Chains A and B, each alone.
Chain A
Amino acid sequence: MQTTDKYLELFQQNREQIGKEDPLFLKELRDAAIKAFQRDGFPGRKEERYKYTHLEPAFDGKLSFDFQPRQIHFDDSEIFSCDVPLLDSNVLTVLNGFFHQNGEGILTKLDNGIIYGGLKEAIAQFPDLVEKYLGKNAPTDDEPFVALNTAFSQDGIFLYVPEGIRMERPIQIINLLLSDKNQMVQHRNLLVLERNAAAQVIICDHTLSPHMFLTNSVTEVYTGENADMDLLRLQNEHNNSCQVTNTWISQDRNSRCQHGTITLHGGIVRNNLRINMEGEGAETSALGLFLTDKMQHVDNYTVIEHSKPHCTSNQYYKGVLDDISTGAFNGKIHVHPDAQKTEAFQTNNNILLSDTAKMQTKPRLEIYADDVKCSHGATVGQIDEEALFYLQSRGIPKEESRLMLMDAFTWDVISKIKQLSLQVRITDLVSKRLRGELSRCNNCAMHCEH
C-alpha cells in the first residue's frame, strides 16, 4: 500500500475520534484537507520543491499516533528547565503534540484581552474567534504537509493579542517529545496579533526519549496592521527524528515581523516558511542558521510573497555542515505586478567542514514589477584559509582559530536576533554545538546523549 493511502485509511478509520468535538467549520476544514491530500499525496522524488528532501520514507515507518493525549507521568518542572533561562517568559508546554498543563491553566485570558494556551481549548471556548483565522493563511491545496496537518492535528498553542496591546512577556512554547515507542506527532499553533499589537514567541523543539519521532507541525501567524511579531524557533532534536515545520505568516499594512529558525540538532529537518506581505509598507526579516554533522539533513525552503508596494524583506540564512551531513536552501522571492518599490534581499552562506558534506542552494527571484530593488547571493565554501593562517600566526592554535572563525560566521545571523537574552543564549548553545559539547540547556537534568 502506498504511504499516502495509509494515511487516508488512518484518517477514515479514526474519523470519529479525530476532532469529535470539532465545530462545523473545523469538520469541513478537515474534510477539505484530506481531499486535497488525497489528490496531492506525499511529494515524490521528482517534485521540484522536495528535490533534496524525500520525506515519504519517514512517514512510511511504523509509527503510533495519538488521537487523545496519553497520560505520561512527567514533571517537566523537575526534569526540564527551559532553553532560555534568562528569559522571563510565559512557558507553554506541548507534549507529543498536546497542550500539557503545568502551573498555568489550559487557557489563560488576561484582563487586557490577551488569550493564550491550548488550541483545542480555545476552539471550544472561542470558536468564532478561531474560525476567523484557522486555516485561512495556511491553505491545504498548496502544500501536502499542511493538508495532512490540517486533517490530523488535534491541539497546539493559541495566542491572541487584541488591538493595541503590546505583550511585555514573551511566550515560550516548548515542544517535548517523550514516548515509549516510535511516534508521529502533528500539532498546530495559531498566533494572532491584531492591529498595533506586539508579541514575541519562542518555540523550542526537544526530544526527551531516544525513539524515532516524526513531527509535522503548522504554525499560522497573523500580523495585523502596524503590529510587531517576533518568532524564533530553536530546533534541538536527536538524530533519530524527522521534523517538518510549516510556518505560514501573513503581514498586514506596516507590520513588522522577524522570523528565525535555529537548527542546532535533528535527524531530518525540513522547514517550510511562507511569508505573505499583504499590506503596504510591511517589513520582514527571516533568519536561519543550521549546524549539521554525521548523517543529519536540514532543508530550509522559503517563499516571500511581495503582493503590495513598499514592502521590505531580508533573508539571512547560514549553514555549517560537517561529516557526511547534507543541507539545502531554496529561497523564493516573488514580487507581484502591483508590488512596486519592493526591497527584497536574500543571502545564503554555507561552510563545509568536510570533503563529504553537501549543500544545495538555490535562490529564486520572480519579479513582475519594474521599480524594485532585489538582490540575492549564495556561497558554499570552506573555512577561509587566509583568515585561519592569520589567527595562527598570532599564536592561536589551529583548532581554536577554526572555532573562532565559525563563531564569527554564525554570529552574523545570531547578532540580528532582537532580544538580547536570546542572543546570548543562542550564542552559547551554538558555540557549544560547534565544540561538540552537549547543546542542551545547562540546567537540564536529563543529560541525554544525542
Chain B
Amino acid sequence: MLEIKDLKVSIEDKEILKGINLSVKAGEVHAIMGPNGSGKSTLASALAGRDYFNITNGKILYEGKDLTELSPEDRAREGIFLGFQYPVEIPGVSMVNFLRTAINSMRKYREQDPLPAGEFLKLMREKKKIVEIDSDLTNRSVNEGFSGGEKKKNEIFQMALLEPKLAILDETDSGLDIDALRIVSNGVNKLRSPENATIIITHYQRLLDYIVPDVVHVLYKGRIVKSGDKSLARELEEHGYDWIKQEVDAND
C-alpha cells in the first residue's frame, strides 16, 4: 500500500529525514517509535502533505501513485488520514459543517452525490459510539475548548467517519489519561480491517498494549535504525532509547 524509498526531507537547510525506507501492506499496523526530535512528526506531515519543508530526495508511493504530487486534500480523498498530534482549534467553524463538508468533498471526488442530511446525521450518531464522544461536542466549533482527551477522541471520530485506507496517528496517545487511552485504542481497533493499514507514531509503549502492532520501527536522527516485532516496543520501554542511541552513535 505504502512504499517509502530513501526519503530525505529538509526544513530550511536542516535535514530532518535522512533516508527513510518503509513498506506498509494492507492489513498491517506499524508503530514508529523514537526519542524526541528524531523526525517522527515530520514523517507524518510529509505523508499528509504539509508544505513547510522540502522533499530533497526519494519517493513516497501510495497504491502505486507518487504521493508528493498530490495536494493535501487529494491525499485525503485518496484515503490517507492524519490524526494530528495537536488538533487545531477553529473557532467559528462548527463541527457539523466541517464534517459534512469533508464527507461531501470526499464523495464528490468519488463522483457520488452529497449525503442527504438525514443519512449524515445517522452516520454521525453511529460513529460517535465508536469513540464514546459526547453529543454536545459536535454542536461546538471544531476542537474549540475541547480537553486534550476530547481532541484526540475527535480525531478518531473523524477517522471513523472518513474511513481511510491508510491512517497515520501522530502521538494520538500523548496527554491521554488511561480511560481516554482505552477509548481511543478501542476505536482504532474497531476500525482495523484487512483492507486498511495504520501507522502509529508514538513515544511510549503503553499504547501498543492496546493496539498490537505487526512491526515496530525505531526512528532516530532521521533514519529508521531498527525494526522488529512487538517485543521491540517492550524492550524500549524497559531499557529506554539509550542503548539504541549508543549503537547508532558508535557507528556514525
Residues on A lying within 8 angstroms of B by beta carbon are 384, 386-387, 389-398, 400-401, 404-405, 407-409, 411-412
Contact = CB atoms under 8 A, between A and B. Distances in A.
A405 B73 CA distance: 16
Contacts of A386: 88
A259 B105 CA distance: 39
A417 B102 CA distance: 29
Interface string B142-169: 1000000000000000100010000000
Contacts of B72: 389, 392-393, 398
B76 A393 contact: yes
Contacts of B101: 396, 400, 404
B224 interface: no
B84 A390 contact: yes
B163 to A, nearest CB: 11
Contact of A395 (B73, B88, B93, B142): B73
A316 B136 CA distance: 27
B27 interface: no
Nearest to B109: A395
A412 B105 contact: no
A411 B141 CA distance: 12
Contacts of B88: 384, 386-387, 389-390
Nearest to B107: A395
11 contacts: A389-B72, A389-B88, A390-B87, A390-B142, A394-B76, A395-B77, A395-B105, A395-B106, A395-B162, A401-B73, A404-B101
Contacts of A396: 73, 101-102, 105
B109 A408 contact: no
B48 A393 contact: yes
A386 B49 CA distance: 12
B105 A400 contact: yes
A149 B53 CA distance: 57
Given A389-B50, A390-B84, A404-B101, A397 B73 contact: yes
B34 to A, nearest CB: 22
A392 B92 contact: no
Nearest to B75: A393
Interface of B: 48-50, 71-73, 75-77, 81-82, 84, 87-93, 97-98, 101-102, 105-106, 109, 141-142, 158, 162
A417 to B, nearest CB: 15
A411 B90 CA distance: 12
B107 to A, nearest CB: 9
B93 A394 contact: no
A390 B162 CA distance: 14
Given A400-B101, A408-B90, A393 B162 contact: no
A393 B44 CA distance: 12
B200 to A, nearest CB: 17
B195 to A, nearest CB: 19
A384 B49 CA distance: 16
The 10 closest A-B pairs by CB, nearest first: A408-B92, A395-B76, A394-B102, A392-B72, A390-B88, A395-B106, A408-B93, A392-B73, A411-B92, A395-B105
Contacts of A394: 76, 98, 102, 158, 162
Given A392-B72, A397-B73, A400-B101, A412 B84 contact: no
Contacts of A392: 49, 71-73, 76
A191 to B, nearest CB: 32
Question: Which of A389, A395, A408 has the most CB atoms of chain B within a 10 A radius of its CB?
Answer: A395
Given A387-B89, A391-B98, 12 more contacts: A384-B90, A387-B88, A389-B88, A392-B71, A392-B72, A393-B81, A394-B162, A396-B105, A398-B73, A400-B105, A407-B92, A408-B141
A412 B91 contact: yes
A110 B75 CA distance: 65
A297 B243 CA distance: 63
Contacts of A407: 92-93
A389 B75 CA distance: 12
B71 A398 contact: yes
Contacts of A408: 90-93, 141
Contacts of B73: 392-393, 395-398, 401
A331 B24 CA distance: 58
Nearest to B101: A396
Contacts of A400: 101, 105
Contacts of A393: 48-49, 72-73, 75-76, 81-82, 84
A326 to B, nearest CB: 25
A328 to B, nearest CB: 24
A112 to B, nearest CB: 41
Contacts of B90: 384, 387, 390-391, 405, 408
Nearest to A399: B73
A398 B50 CA distance: 12
Nearest to A401: B73
Nearest to B83: A393
A393 B51 CA distance: 12
A400 B82 CA distance: 19
Contacts of B106: 395
Nearest to A410: B92
A386 B45 CA distance: 12
B50 to A, nearest CB: 6
Contacts of A401: 73
Contacts of B158: 394
B82 A412 contact: no
A32 B158 CA distance: 67
Question: Which of B71, B73, B82 has the most CB atoms of chain A within a 10 A radius of its CB?
Answer: B73
A177 B35 CA distance: 68
